[in-house]
Every structure is written in C-alpha cells, then in structure tokens.
Amino acid sequence: MAQLKERPKPFLLPDYCKGCGRCISACAKGCITFDKEIDAATGYVPVVIDLETCNACGLCMDACPEPYGLRETPVDVDFELQDPAKLFGGKTTSAPEPVEIPNTLIPLPRTEPLVIKGNYASAIGALLAGCRHVFGYPITPSTEGAELMAKLLPKLDGTFLQAVSEVAAVNHMYGSGGAGYPCMTFTSSPGFSLMLEGVSYMIGAEVPGVFVNIMRGGPGLGNIAPEQSDVKLACRGLGHGNTHAITLMPSTPQEMLDLTMLAFELTFKYRSPVILLGDGYLGQMTGKVMLPDAMIKPGIPKWAVNGDANHRGNLISSIYLSEHDLEQHNIYLNDKYRQMAENESRCETFMADDAEILIIATNTPARASKGAVQDLRQQGVKAGLFRPITVWPFPVKQLAAILPHVKQMVVVEASNGQLEDEIRLALSNAGVTTLPAITNVRHFGGMLPQQTEVLAHVKAILAKEAR
Amino acid sequence: MSVFYDKFQRHSEGVGLKGNSTHYCPGCGHGLAHKYLAEAIAELGIQDNTVLVSPVGCSVFAYYYFDVGNTQAAHGRAAAVALGHKLSNPEANVISYQGDGDLASIGLAETVSAAQLGAPITVIFINNAIYGMTGGQMAPTSLMGQSTATSPDGRSMFNGQPMRMAELIAGLDGPVYVERVALFDAKNRRLAKKAIKKAVQCQVEGRGYAFIEVLAECPTHLKLSPEETEKWVKEQMVPVFPLGVKKDLAVDPWWKRPSPDFEPAHMLKAAGASSDAASRYCEAFPTHLNPLDISLKLAGSGGDGAQTAAMLIARAAINEGFDATHIPSYGPESRGGTSYADVHVAKDEVLNPASPHPDVLIAFNAPSLAKFGPTVVKGGTIVYDSSIVKDVPEGIDPSVKVVGAPFTEIAVDLGKAVVKNIVALGALQAATGLFPKETILAAVRQALKDKCALIPLNEEAFAWGVKAVEEGRK
Ligand code: SF4
Ligand code: SF4
C-alpha cells in the first residue's frame, strides 16, 4: 500500500540522551551507534543516528525511555539551536491558574430538637457541614457513626466506603480531601493508632479531613469501655514529623454535632486535619440536639487536585527534597500551628470567675465535674470548672487568666495524666511558673470519674486544709 | 500536544538538563511506561480530567513529568488514595502508578481491596523484581536465586517465592481487564503501549478496574547493562511471570455516580428532623422526684426493651422542654443478655448522665432488682415486673417505695410479649407521676409514626400498666 504521508524520522539532542543503548537494538537497520566521546554536559556517551538508511519505522523512539530523548523530528526547528529552553519553550504547563469555588450557606427552617446518640449527632453534623464522603472501618464504640452514614449517604447521593483497614481509610481520605471534598472517618483508639501515618502525610501535604475518635480503653486491645487516653496521641503523637492538629473535645451530644461542624470549617480554613476526641460514653449517649439554622454546600478550593482543567496544575505532596525547602515548609507549618493557637483555643468555664478550687476536665467527666461544682457551691465551697474544648491548642491564656485566685487545681480524667500533662506543658510554655497545687481524680480501663468521686476528692482536700 | 510538562519545573526547579530529563537511571523501564501512559492520556484526550497518583519507590517523582492533576501517596497506599479520589470525584480518571515493593508488599491489602471493589481506576504496576529507591533489596517479585542486598546468597525458600500479581488480581471478581506486558523488544513494547491505553480506556468508558503489570528493567540494581537487563527480563523473568492477557471481560459501562445532594429538605429528612412542635402536657418539672435532675435506671435482659423504654422517657422529657440523656450499656455486656440504661431528666441541664444512685429503678428481672435495688436513693421508687420477680430481695432502703406490676403477664395477655416495656412505662407513670400520661403516650406515638398499626396495642399496654399499679394488681 502506498504510504501517503511521510513518517517522521528520529531526532535527538545529545544532552537528553542517557546512553542506555536501548534504541540501538531496536533499530533493525542498524542506524544507531554509540558516539565516540562522552558528552561533557551529561557525562553519558550518547548515540548518533545515521538517517541514510532510516525508513522511519519509529521503533527506536518507542524504545527510548526519555520523554525528551529520541523523538520525532520536529518541524520548524532550527537544528542549530540546542538551547532546550528555546527548543521546548520556557513554559512548564498550559494549565490555567485555578479559581476557587466558594462554599454556599443554605438556610434551614427551625426544627424541633432531635433525641439522638452522640455518634449520630456527629454524623449529622458532618452532613450539615457538607460532608458526603465517609471512609471507615468498623470499631466499637464508634461504629454507629459509620453505620448511620452508610444508611444516610446513599439518600443524599454521597458515598460511604467500608475500607479494608484504618490504614486504607485514612488514605481514602487523603485522596478525597486532596480532591477538595469534605471527608471524614469514625474510629476508636486502636483504629486511630493505625491512621496516624496517614495523618502525618495529610498535615505535610496540607490535606483537610475530620477524624472522630471515640476513645476506648487501652493499651492494646484493652476494652471497649470509655477512656480518654488518646489525648497524648492527638496532642503529641500525630505520626512522624513536626505535626499538630486542632483537637476538639465535646462533652454533650449537642456539642458532638456543633464541634463536628466546626471541625469541617477549621480543617478547610487551615488545610489541615482536625480531630474530635470523645469518650465512649459520649458516643453512646442519647441527648437533646438542636440543628443549626444553616447547612453548607461545599465549593472546591483553589489548591485541590480535582481532576478538571481548572485544577490541572495542582499537586498534593508532602515531599520537599532539599533540606532548605523542607525547613521552609516546616517553618510555614509552624506558623500555621501558631495561628491555630492564637485563633482557635476554646474553652468553657462554669463558676470559675472567683473559684478557689478549679476542676479541669473534658468530655463526659466534665459533665460529672460540673455537677460536682454545683454541689460544692451549694455547700458554700468556691469551686469552678475549666473545660478545655480544644485540648490542642490548649486554651492556656484563658486558664492563666483565672489562675491568680485559684488555690487548688483538680484534674479529672480517664487517663493516667494525659490531660494534666497538657495543662502543665501549656502553662510552662506560657511562662506561668507559680502554679497552685495540682491533684487529680483518675480512672482507667473503661470507667469514667464520677460526680461523687470528684466531690469526695475536693472534700478531702478541704478537710486536710482545715487541719 | 504532549502530556509531559514542557519543562520539568518540579525536577530541580527545571534548571539545566534536569528541566527535560527524567531522574531515572539510563535504560530504566519506568521512562518507557511513562511515555506509553502519557501517549494514552493524550490519545484519549483526557489530560484535563486525569489525576495521577505517584507512589513511593523510584517513580515517587512521576508528578515531575505528567502535566495532569498530581497526588503523591504514602508508601503502598496509592491505590487507596486513588480510590478515595475516584469515589469523591467520579468524573476524574484516576491512575495509580506503583512499583513492586509499593504495590505487592507494603500496599498489598490496599491493592487487593481496591481491585476487588472494582471501581474504574487504572493501576500501572511496574515489576522489575527489585527495590530501586532504597538500593537493590529483595522485592516480593524477586526471582528464586536472585541475589539482592537483602538476599545476598540468592532468594531461597526461606524468603518465600515471587508474587504473581497479575494472576492474583485477575483471580478477583472486581477487575475487568488484567494484562502482563514487557518492554524488552519492539513487539512487546507495542503490546505494552496498547495495553496501557486499553486500561485507561476501561476507566474512561466506566467499564471497571484495570491492572497492567509491566515487566521492567532496572539495570542499576541488577548490575547489568541495559541490553543485558532486557535479556534478563526476557529469559529469567518471563518464565516466572508469563506475559499476556489474564482477564478481559466484556462489561458494559456501569460507572455512574450521582452528584451529592444538598437539598435542605432532603438533609432534614435524612436527619429525621421535623418542624412540627410537640404538644406539651406538663405544667412543671416533677420536683417531687428530684428538684433539678431525676436519675433513672432501667435494667433487664436483652429482649425486655429497656433501651426503648429509656429512649421514650428521654424523648418525652425533651418534648416537654426539659433536658434528658440516656446511656445504654453496650458491647459484650449487652450481648451477654443483660441490658441496662441510665436516664436523666433535668429541669435545665443534665450535668452527669450516669445513674449510679437512681431516684427511680425499673427492674425487668430478679438479678437486675437484686443488683440495682440497693443503689436506689432514700425515698426513691422501684417498679419491677412481678410476673418474673417473685421475692423482693434484701438490701433495699426501707424508705424506698417498691411497686410490683405484672409487665410480662399483661403483655402476653395482650398477645405481644414485646410490649412489656410499655406496660412498665404505664406502671412507672402510675407509681411516680413522672409525667402526665399524655406526655409518654405522645412519645410512643411519635416513635411509632411509621408503624401506626401498632399504636392502639401500645396505648392499651400503657393503660394496663397504669391500672395494675393503681389497683395494686400483682
Ligand atoms: S534509547 Fe534514548 S536515552 Fe537510550 S541511548 Fe537511545 S536515545 Fe539515548
Ligand atoms: S534504580 Fe532501577 S528502577 Fe530505579 S530508576 Fe534506576 S533503573 Fe529505574
């Protein structure tokens, strides 16, 4: 058959030849041979092509591993010009500058309170915040959140994927969050441990995502009863590298909803994962939950790798090969952490204004402590509650402000002092060196400190003082 | 137009030769696979809608070269990342490009589960029988006898045998197209190019998951010349990893995902929210039980419906404008046949949701009464199922009001044993005056709004519970 169009013959700039020789054996006509000398620029011996007998079969070009190695002879190229910048152009990509598609706030009518479990409240909060992509691995006591999502998301044309493991789940989130979508997971302590590698990558690559961790008893498999012993993990141990993430600790089903919504706002605001820590009781607890007056329809951020022309130029990656670049990236992340600390430290106080005995607690133990404060006040004891809502960043300014009149701090927690460590570290970093006496009420292994225990502890302190 | 960047800006800032050369060693198979993938993307016209997931391994920097959306994944997790992306953004063409350590060792679970899920992603698997990036260690695909940095005396049975990934993946139900190709001669390169394009096309057409295993050359770590490496792949690898199509199903396009729904009415319906205000029947907080916060415990065995009854009390209290909480016992404890619920009803706010010392106990069986009866506060109330519990145990404070009613007997008489928890609520109402009858009945009706036919039976059960206490029936 007659060849109508002439096929292009190979062309090579020696600077882009690595001298592998794969083209030599590919050429049936023997047109290609090694050059005599090493190319000064590359240190490789390039090939030379004798086009005399070349029949433009193209097989050598298919055999060359280099994108800009053996290629079709370009038309309109001045063969004398060997400056690659001129030859291939200085532009790296034709992708446009990405445009941000903002979120839309959609008003909701007033509704009657829901009576739902904390885990459900969190799931509904996520849906209201615009999350339609949930990845999870079943683990007690957080599973109801995932189960509700599996039930509701298909009704809202969203996706719930039961991942093969928590390791996969966090990486599904890396893909989804990296594409600019609000996504989340429900997990519990052992599962959270498994996700930490991914969390480090998400922080490094600046990928948003919300982790709801309903903490259970540990270490190891421990049990499935409530504990608060992942505070250390969330505040000090988010995988490798210099990592931090905003960590919210709700104390009621209502807050499970509100803080989950806040978590989505913050995860996109800072382009960094946000963690919500609840104790097992909170996830299982049913209570009164009011819906907000608006829900969110998410847009697509500028930086997302969204698989469209607009975002084609984007990259999600945590790699910074040069030490200098990685240091700069860390400085940039540290600055982000500083901004989080400045803007997002949250707490609630209860009768703390003149408190001499300040109880510090989070989650369900904070509710028990609130009850204890009320009892103590009725008995004329100047007690108050300080409840960190963000345990990282720790609301240290707010705490330092009320410390001057505090004589005793009582840290109430279901862990071996993980919250207390955060308090001490935060105060120390803030330069608060004169501290009131610190005592504690602690439980581990699946029990939460009770109101009666807090009460008894404070009374014992008072009795000792009176002596 | 080429799908490679005009200049590799991300490769050392694109300065000098690196601006247009890859970081791969001379003769490395990665460059060829890159070229064929780039050509496939260009020929299919999907450059703008393609997302490439770069792995960890020698191809960690694939994002230096492809002018498409790029994501770089953790070691072994590329398929999981690709899947997360694809499920969120179904229109994008997502390609996971991975080496043997990444795909067949550390990421095996992610690889297999993504394949079995079958969502249309394209996986390009570069098998060169060795770890490149970390410096020539044994790969899951290293050959028997192959000497590597971590099998210096040659891979032995002690190291296990090479993984045949294409066969493994083809054995799953999820994938539609699986082929193993090679790069060592012109004919195989042509087949490789075709296969890669077809694998991407499977995704573009929404037909399903496709997997291409490419037997590639790593001259550096095989310590051979590029030409010798081609020969090694042909003579040593191919007998272990036979080339060819492993699976090619004629599947009609099926991948179609709707766009997420943000219709407020749908959202509210999903959340179970309603704007209809519940009627209120309570005139004041039942302070006779506790001035601020009434603590209740419901205890029984699995089928007693203690949790449902607890939920109804909480619902009723919230309808009346009070705060309420309910904590179930859960986990193995609940599977072991016991079922406890702690309920609080507070005037303003429940401070402590646990009920270690309840004001009111509802006991469905004798062990529950024995266990929790003594924890009831002075002056509190106990309501128990007198058809099950014959003797009230010791240890209950004498000030506690103990009321028996035949929950089970009444329920059985009504023809449905499961309504005994509603009988119990009737008894609770009569014994404590917690709420007006209508408050609890309204909550029952609300809970049964999708099963209206059951409402009369439940109302009757409630009424019998009330009557049993009022008439002192045991
Ligand atoms: S195949 Fe390409 S890089 Fe290798 S020798 Fe030939 S032209 Fe050079
Ligand atoms: S080490 Fe092997 S796989 Fe890695 S770039 Fe070099 S030749 Fe290619």
* Domain at A46, CATH number: 3.30.70.20
What pairs with residue A297 in β-bridges? A104
Measure the N-to-C terminal CA separation of chain B; round to a whole number of Å. 89
- A38 and A118 in a common domain: no
Q: Write the burial class of residue B109 (CB in 10 Å: 0-12 exposed, 13-18 middle, 19+ buried).
A: middle
Q: How far apart, in whole angstroms, are the C-alpha atoms of residue A75 and residue A125? A: 59
Q: Do the Cβ atoms of B184 and B226 come closer than 8 Å?
A: no
Q: Do the Cβ atoms of A168 and B113 come closer than 8 Å?
A: yes
Q: State yes or no: pLDDT of A403 exceeds 90.
A: yes
**Inter-chain contact A113–B63, Cβ cutoff 8 Å?**
no
- B206 and B63 in a common domain: yes
Q: State yes or no: pLDDT of A86 exceeds 70.
A: no
Mean pLDDT, chain A, whole residue set: 93
Q: How far apart, in whole angstroms, are the C-alpha atoms of residue A185 and residue A207? A: 14
Domain ranges, residue A259: 104-344
What string of DSSP letters covers A408-419? EEEEEESSSSHH
Count CB atoms within 10 A of the CB of residue B449.
9
- B321 and B232 in a common domain: no
**What was the pLDDT predicted at A84?**
52
Q: Is A216 helix (H, G, I), strand (E, B) or coil?
A: strand
| Longest CA pairwise span in chain B (Å) | 100
Count CB atoms within 10 A of the CB of residue B2.
17
B285 within a domain of the structure (yes/no):
yes
**What stretch of H or E contains A170?**
helix A166-178
Mean of the pLDDT values across residues A112-133? Answer: 96
What string of DSSP letters covers B62-83? GGGTB-SEEEE--TT-HHHHHH
- B326 and B201 in a common domain: no
A3 within a domain of the structure (yes/no):
no
CA of residue B25 to ligand 2 center, whole Å = 5
The pick from B30, B229, B237 for probing ligand 2's pocket by mutation, whose C-beta has the most ligand atoms within 8 angstroms, reads B30
- A237 and A201 in a common domain: yes
B85 within a domain of the structure (yes/no):
yes
User: What CATH number does the domain containing A396 carry?
Assistant: 3.40.50.920
Count CB atoms within 10 A of the CB of residue B259.
10
Which residues, numbered 417 to 436 in chain B, qualify as contacts with chain A under a Cβ-Cβ cut-off of 8 Å? Answer: none
- A203 and A123 in a common domain: yes
| A-B contacts at Cβ under 8 angstroms | 359
- A274 and A338 in a common domain: yes
Q: How far apart, in whole angstroms, are the C-alpha atoms of residue B215 and residue A364? A: 57
Residue among B72, B88, B327 minimizing CB distance to A183: B88
Q: State yes or no: pLDDT of A78 exceeds 60.
A: no
Per the structure, the count of domains in chain A is 3
Q: How far apart, in whole angstroms, are the C-alpha atoms of residue B361 and residue B292? A: 18
What string of DSSP letters covers B261-299? P--HHHHHHHHT---PPPP---SS--TTT-SSEEEEEEE
CB contacts of A376 in chain B (<8 Å) are none
B462 within a domain of the structure (yes/no):
yes
Tell whether A443 is within 8 A of chain B (Cβ). Answer: no
Q: How far apart, in whole angstroms, are the C-alpha atoms of residue B112 and residue B108? A: 6
- A336 and A215 in a common domain: yes
**Inter-chain contact A164–B109, Cβ cutoff 8 Å?**
yes
Residue among A140, A286, A288 minimizing CB distance to B331: A140
- Domain termination site, one of A87, A115, A147: A87
Q: State yes or no: pLDDT of B449 exceeds 90.
A: no
CA of residue A434 to ligand 2 center, whole Å = 59
Phi, psi of A408 (to 5 degrees): -140, 135
Distances (CA, A) of B269 to A216, B272, B275, B443, B452: 32, 5, 11, 19, 19
Is the bond leading into B436 cis (omega within 30 degrees of zero)? no
Which residues, numbered 390 to 419 in chain A, qualify as contacts with chain B under a Cβ-Cβ cut-off of 8 Å? Answer: none
**Ligand nearest the Cα atom of residue B25:** 2
Mean of the pLDDT values across residues B438-463? Answer: 93
Q: What ranges in A9-152 are assigned the alpha helix state H?
A: 22-26, 59-63, 84-88, 118-128, 143-152
- A138 and A77 in a common domain: no
Q: State yes or no: pLDDT of A338 exceeds 70.
A: yes
Q: Which residue has the tokens 């990259």?
A: A315
- A462 and A414 in a common domain: yes
Per-residue pLDDT tens over the stretch B197-210: 999 999 999 999 99
Q: What ipTM was assigned to the predicted interfaces of this complex?
A: 0.93
Q: Is A405 helix (H, G, I), strand (E, B) or coil?
A: helix
Q: Is A179 helix (H, G, I), strand (E, B) or coil?
A: coil
HSE, side-chain direction, 13 A CA sphere, residue A36: 0
- Domain termination site, one of B248, B263, B283: B248
Domain ranges, residue B454: 275-470
Instruction: State the smallest CA–CA distance between residue A65 and chain B in angstroms.
Output: 4
Q: How far apart, in whole angstroms, are the C-alpha atoms of residue B80 and residue B470? A: 63
**What was the pLDDT predicted at A96?**
86
B259 within a domain of the structure (yes/no):
no
CA of residue B70 to ligand 2 center, whole Å = 21
Mean pLDDT, chain B, whole residue set: 94
Count CB atoms within 10 A of the CB of residue A147.
17
B266 within a domain of the structure (yes/no):
no
Measure the N-to-C terminal CA separation of chain A; round to a whole number of Å. 112
Count CB atoms within 10 A of the CB of residue B244.
11
Q: Is the CB of B101 under 6 A from ligand 2?
A: no
Q: State yes or no: pLDDT of A467 exceeds 80.
A: no
> Who's near A64: CB < 8 A, 6+ residues apart?
A22, A23, A70, A71, B31, B32, B35
- B286 and B170 in a common domain: no
Count CB atoms within 10 A of the CB of residue B415.
8
Mean of the pLDDT values across residues A127-153? Answer: 94
Mean of the pLDDT values across residues B432-438? Answer: 94
Query: DSSP code of B236?
Result: I
- B312 and B218 in a common domain: no
The pick from B11, B21, B22, B25 for probing ligand 2's pocket by mutation, whose C-beta has the most ligand atoms within 8 angstroms, reads B25
Q: How far apart, in whole angstroms, are the C-alpha atoms of residue B99 and residue A221? A: 34
- Chain B interface disruption, residue of A214, A288, A448, most B CBs within 10 A: A288
User: What CATH number does the domain containing B442 carry?
Assistant: 3.40.920.10
Q: Is the CB of B221 under 6 A from ligand 2?
A: yes
User: What CATH number does the domain containing B34 carry?
Assistant: 3.40.50.970
- Chain A interface disruption, residue of B5, B52, B87, most A CBs within 10 A: B87
CA of residue A12 to ligand 1 center, whole Å = 9
**What was the pLDDT predicted at A308?**
92
Ligand 1 pocket list (CB less than 6 A): A 12, 17-23, 46-47, 63-64, 66, 69-70
- B236 and B140 in a common domain: yes
In this structure, are strands A246-248 and A286-289 parallel, antiparallel, or unpaired?
A: unpaired
- B294 and B379 in a common domain: yes
Q: Which residue owns the Cα nearest ligand 1 atom 8?
A: A17
- B294 and B230 in a common domain: no
Give the confidence band of A141 by pLDDT, cuts at 50, 70, 90: confident
**What was the pLDDT predicted at B141?**
97
CA of residue B47 to ligand 1 center, whole Å = 26
- A184 and A83 in a common domain: no
**What stretch of H or E contains A440?**
strand A437-442
**What was the pLDDT predicted at A213?**
97
- B33 and B162 in a common domain: yes
**What was the pLDDT predicted at A405?**
95
**What stretch of H or E contains B161?**
none
Tell whether A285 is within 8 A of chain B (Cβ). Answer: yes
Q: Do the Cβ atoms of B426 and B464 come closer than 8 Å?
A: yes
- A226 and A83 in a common domain: no
Q: Which residue owns the Cα nearest ligand 2 atom 5?
A: B24
- Domain termination site, one of A36, A52, A87: A87
B2 within a domain of the structure (yes/no):
no
pTM for this model (two decimals): 0.93
- A216 and A110 in a common domain: yes
**Inter-chain contact A297–B262, Cβ cutoff 8 Å?**
yes
Per-residue pLDDT tens over the stretch B295-319: 999 999 888 899 999 999 999 999 9
B254 within a domain of the structure (yes/no):
no
Give the confidence band of A88 by pLDDT, cuts at 50, 70, 90: low
> Who's near B352: CB < 8 A, 6+ residues apart?
A367, A368, A370, A371, A450, A451, B344
**What was the pLDDT predicted at B356?**
83
Q: State yes or no: pLDDT of A71 exceeds 70.
A: yes
Is the bond leading into A190 cis (omega within 30 degrees of zero)? no
B253 within a domain of the structure (yes/no):
no
Per-residue pLDDT tens over the stretch A162-211: 999 999 999 999 999 999 999 999 999 999 999 999 999 999 999 999 99
Q: How far apart, in whole angstroms, are the C-alpha atoms of residue B469 and residue B474? A: 8
- A442 and A300 in a common domain: no
- A72 and A169 in a common domain: no
Q: Is A238 helix (H, G, I), strand (E, B) or coil?
A: coil
**What was the pLDDT predicted at B331?**
39
CA of residue A444 to ligand 2 center, whole Å = 51
Q: Do the Cβ atoms of B342 and B359 come closer than 8 Å?
A: no
Nearest CA in chain B to A183: B88
- B292 and B187 in a common domain: no
Residue among A22, A309, A374 minimizing CB distance to B226: A22
Give the confidence band of A89 by pLDDT, cuts at 50, 70, 90: low
**What was the pLDDT predicted at B334?**
43
Q: How far apart, in whole angstroms, are the C-alpha atoms of residue B45 and residue B70? A: 17
- Chain A interface disruption, residue of B70, B315, B351, most A CBs within 10 A: B351
Query: DSSP code of B138?
Result: P
A94 within a domain of the structure (yes/no):
no
Q: What ranges in B152-236 are assigned the alpha helix state H?
A: 165-170, 186-204, 219-222, 226-232
Q: Which residue owns the Cα nearest ligand 2 atom 6?
A: B25
- Chain A interface disruption, residue of B9, B93, B352, most A CBs within 10 A: B352
Q: How far apart, in whole angstroms, are the C-alpha atoms of residue A387 and residue A396? A: 11
**Inter-chain contact A108–B32, Cβ cutoff 8 Å?**
no
HSE, side-chain direction, 13 A CA sphere, residue B229: 25
Q: Is A457 helix (H, G, I), strand (E, B) or coil?
A: helix
CA of residue A19 to ligand 1 center, whole Å = 5
Q: Is the CB of B220 under 6 A from ligand 2?
A: yes
In this structure, are strands B323-328 and A286-289 parallel, antiparallel, or unpaired?
A: antiparallel
Count CB atoms within 10 A of the CB of residue A10.
24
Per the structure, the count of domains in chain B is 2
Give the confidence band of B240 by pLDDT, cuts at 50, 70, 90: very high
User: What CATH number does the domain containing A197 carry?
Assistant: 3.40.50.970
CA of residue B198 to ligand 1 center, whole Å = 26
Per-residue pLDDT tens over the stretch B369-397: 999 999 999 999 999 999 999 888 889 99
Nearest CA in chain A to B323: A288
Q: Do the Cβ atoms of A238 and A212 come closer than 8 Å?
A: no
Instruction: Name the residue among B415, B145, B432, B405 with its Cα closest to residue B287.
Output: B432
Q: Do the Cβ atoms of A230 and A189 come closer than 8 Å?
A: yes
Work out which ligand 2 atom sits closest to the CA atom of B27: 7
- Domain termination site, one of A344, A366, A389: A344
Strand spans (E) along A46-121:
47-49, 71-72, 104-107, 114-117
A402 within a domain of the structure (yes/no):
yes
Residue B158 CA, chain-centre distance (Å), reads 36
**What was the pLDDT predicted at B58?**
95
- B214 and B87 in a common domain: yes
Instruction: State the smallest CA–CA distance between residue B267 and chain A in angstroms.
Output: 7
A99 within a domain of the structure (yes/no):
no
